């Protein structure tokens, strides 16, 4: 790759000597963009092969042994120092390039326990055992796109290493889909055995047009809590309900009444959802069972909304049992992922570079209602930015939007099928510029 003799990033020495203040110099996107594009173009055949191999052989949460080994080999070949088995199947790849901040770039490793139905030449036909059951495995959330972009970004940044100083900390996280991999890596000393990074970045693909990116300042994804309630009654004959305490009745009443917590207690302008996804109870039409178990999910953005909803849900469950003169229900609320909060400073710096590179294709979006355990790293004290990239042909997206074409499969659909090259290229370009902007910001002492 052609290199510019003079670094395109602001030099700390220059700005220390400069009398003008504050200096708002930013990275030279106009010159960097074609260099990054050239690098991606040269690297792409190998990245394509890596992507399709990972796509065809996906592994579910904490089983990502082969996937991690593939990434470890790629990173070692680039000159990164790689530590494997951090948080069971995770890996940490470090590259030092002089004095400067440590910048973390995270990819996930895991796929989903489901069957792929895309019919692609490189579709997965692999199976595994998950929760004691045989299942197909598929990269239907696009984490394979993230991995190819992650390796490509590392390669591109090394090709530009006269443009930045500091340490790259590339981490590959297991078990994002079960929101447990980030915790596992932290518990295994991610920020103690290795240096805690100064900044962090991660991206996720989604069902919109490739070449497009969305970002958020502040809250980017939801808090997720899982809910399990067992209503205890007193079973008996369906023809003689007066001799029973009916837990099916309690469950039914709870499912309806709990929605009033959303509509009457929560501020209607704030996001909050409770969905009951599973009901287990009973065996025959004429037997009132002893117990009914409900499982659900609770999603919120703000901690105060979360607290209000949890209290309301608990109160409703207890009241429903009391109404039936039944014993108190067992209520178990398990905390899942916390909302990802993007750091305004990190976002502002990266956004300037990304806006310069992508123009109107880089735009803010409202927070997303799914959850993401990248928040674990943020909450451990790493100012970060999490952004999204599109995966489909712009014409197909436009047709789906104006109703002239079919709806496009979203993440977790068996038909989710990103167009690899432009998606991965955008991922690399955006992530490279985001990382360079953070190095530059630090070099300018901001
Ligand atoms: Zn997913
Ligand atoms: Zn995902």
DSSP string, 363-380: EE-PPPSS--TTHHHHHT
User: Among 54, 80, 65, 145, which residue's Cα sits nearest to residue 107?
Assistant: 145
Q: What is the gyration radius of the CA atoms in the chain, in angstroms?
A: 25
Q: How far is the CA of 373 from the centre of ligand 2 (A)?
A: 10
Comparing CA positions, the residue from 137, 110, 63, 144 lying closest to residue 417 is 144
Separation of 177 CA from ligand 1 center, angstroms? 5
Statement: residue 44 has pLDDT above 80:
yes
Ligand nearest to the CA of 388: 2
Res 312 pLDDT > 80: yes
What CA–CA distance (Å, rounded) separates 395 from 340? 31
For residue 187, how many other CB atoms are within 10 A of its CB?
12
Q: Calculate how far, in angstroms, residue 289's C-alpha sits from the geometric centre of ligand 2.
A: 39
Q: What is the pLDDT of residues 131-188, one digit of tens each?
A: 899 999 999 999 999 999 999 999 999 999 999 999 999 999 999 998 999 999 999 9
Residues 305-326: what's their mean pLDDT? Answer: 97
How close is the Cα of 39 to the center of ligand 1, in Å? Answer: 29
Judged by its nearest atom, the ligand closest to the C-alpha of residue 144 is: 2
Give the mean pLDDT of the chain: 93
Per-residue confidence band for 446, with pLDDT thresholds at 50, 70 and 90 = low
Q: Is the CA virtual torsion 263, 264, 269, 274 positive or negative? A: negative
Give the DSSP letter of residue 361.
Answer: G
Q: How far is the CA of 42 from the centre of ligand 1 (A)?
A: 30
For ligand 1, the distance from its centroid to the CA atom of residue 87, given in whole angstroms, is 19
The residues, any chain, with a CB within 8 Å of residue 210's CB and separated by 6 or more, are 389, 390, 391, 392, 393, 394, 418, 419, 422, 423, 426
CA distances from 66 to 59, 149, 438 (A): 8, 18, 32
Q: Distance of CA 166 to CAs 36, 161, 384, 423, Å?
A: 19, 10, 17, 28
Quick one: CA torsion of 387, 213, 121, 170, rounded to 10 degrees? Answer: -40
CA of 411 to the centre of ligand 1 (A): 6
Name the residue with tokens 């963009």.
33
Ligand index nearest the alpha carbon of residue 205? 2
Q: What mean pLDDT do residues 308-316 have? A: 97
pLDDT at position 8 is 54
170 phi/psi in degrees, rounded to 5: -95, 120
**For residue 277, how far is its CA from the centre of ligand 2 (angstroms)?**
20
Q: What is the pLDDT of residue 9?
A: 54
Give distance in angstroms: CA of 205 to centre of ligand 1: 10
Q: Which residues pair with 295 in a beta bridge?
A: 228, 278
Centroid of ligand 1 to alpha carbon of 134 (angstroms): 20
DSSP structure class, residue 262: I
**Looking at the CA of 108, which ligand is closest?**
2
DSSP label at residue 196: P
Per-residue pLDDT tens digits for 378-421: 999 999 999 999 999 999 999 999 999 999 999 999 999 999 99
Cα(180) to centroid of ligand 2, in Å?
Answer: 13
Provide the 10 A C-beta neighbour count for residue 189.
13
CA of 112 to the centre of ligand 2 (A): 9
What is the Cβ-side half-sphere exposure of residue 182, based on CA atoms within 13 angstroms? Answer: 22
> In angstroms, how far is the first alpha carbon of the chain from the final one?
30
The DSSP string of 316-349 is: HHHHHHHHTTPPPPEEEEEE-PPPPEE-HHHHHH
Taking the CA of 412 as reference, the closest ligand is 1
Dist. CA 19 → ligand 1 center (Å): 49
109 CA distance to ligand 2 centroid (A)? 10
Query: How many residues can be counted in the chain?
Result: 446
């Amino acid at each position: 790759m052609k290199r510019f003799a003079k670094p395109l990033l602001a030099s700390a020495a220059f700005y220390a000597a400069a009398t003008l203040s504050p200096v708002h110099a930013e990275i030279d996107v106009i010159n960097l963009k074609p260099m990054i594009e050239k690098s991606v173009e040269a690297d792409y055949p190998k990245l394509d092969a890596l992507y399709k191999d990972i796509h065809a052989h996906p592994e579910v949460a904490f089983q990502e042994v082969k996937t991690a080994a593939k990434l470890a080999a790629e990173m070692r070949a680039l000159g990164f120092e790689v530590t494997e088995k951090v948080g069971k199947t995770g890996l940490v790849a470090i590259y030092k390039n002089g004095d400067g901040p440590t910048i973390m770039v995270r990819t996930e490793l895991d796929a989903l326990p489901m069957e792929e139905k895309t019919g692609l030449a490189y579709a997965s036909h692999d199976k595994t055992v998950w929760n004691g059951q045989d299942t197909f495995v598929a990269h239907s959330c696009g984490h394979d796109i993230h991995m190819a972009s992650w390796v490509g970004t590392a390669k591109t940044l090394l090709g530009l290493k006269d443009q930045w100083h500091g340490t790259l900390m590339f981490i590959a996280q297991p078990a994002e889909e079960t929101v447990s991999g980030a915790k596992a890596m932290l518990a295994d000393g991610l920020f103690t055995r290795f240096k805690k990074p100064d900044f962090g970045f991660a991206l996720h693909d989604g069902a919109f047009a490739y070449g497009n990116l969305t970002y958020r300042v502040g809250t980017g994804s939801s808090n997720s809590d899982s809910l399990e309630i067992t209503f205890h009654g007193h079973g008996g004959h369906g023809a003689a309900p007066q001799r029973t305490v009916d837990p099916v009745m309690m469950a039914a009443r709870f499912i309806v009444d709990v929605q009033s917590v959303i509509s009457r207690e929560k501020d209607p302008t704030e996001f909050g959802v409770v969905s009951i996804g599973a009901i287990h109870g009973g065996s025959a039409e004429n037997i009132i069972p002893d117990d009914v178990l409900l499982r659900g999910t609770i999603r919120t953005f703000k901690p105060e909304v979360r607290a209000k909803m949890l209290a309301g849900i608990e109160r409703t469950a207890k009241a429903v049992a009391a109404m039936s003169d039944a014993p108190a229900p067992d209520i178990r609320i398990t905390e899942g992922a916390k909302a990802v909060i993007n750091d305004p400073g990190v976002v502002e710096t990266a956004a300037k570079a990304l806006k310069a590179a992508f123009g109107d294709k880089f735009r803010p979006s409202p927070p997303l209602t799914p959850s993401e355990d990248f928040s674990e790293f943020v909450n451990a004290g790493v100012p970060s930015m999490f952004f999204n990239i599109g995966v489909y042909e712009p014409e197909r997206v436009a047709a789906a939007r104006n109703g002239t074409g079919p709806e496009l499969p979203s993440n977790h659909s068996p038909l989710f099928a990103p167009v690899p090259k432009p998606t991965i290229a955008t991922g690399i370009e955006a992530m490279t510029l985001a990382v360079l902007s953070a190095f530059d910001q630090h070099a300018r002492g901001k």
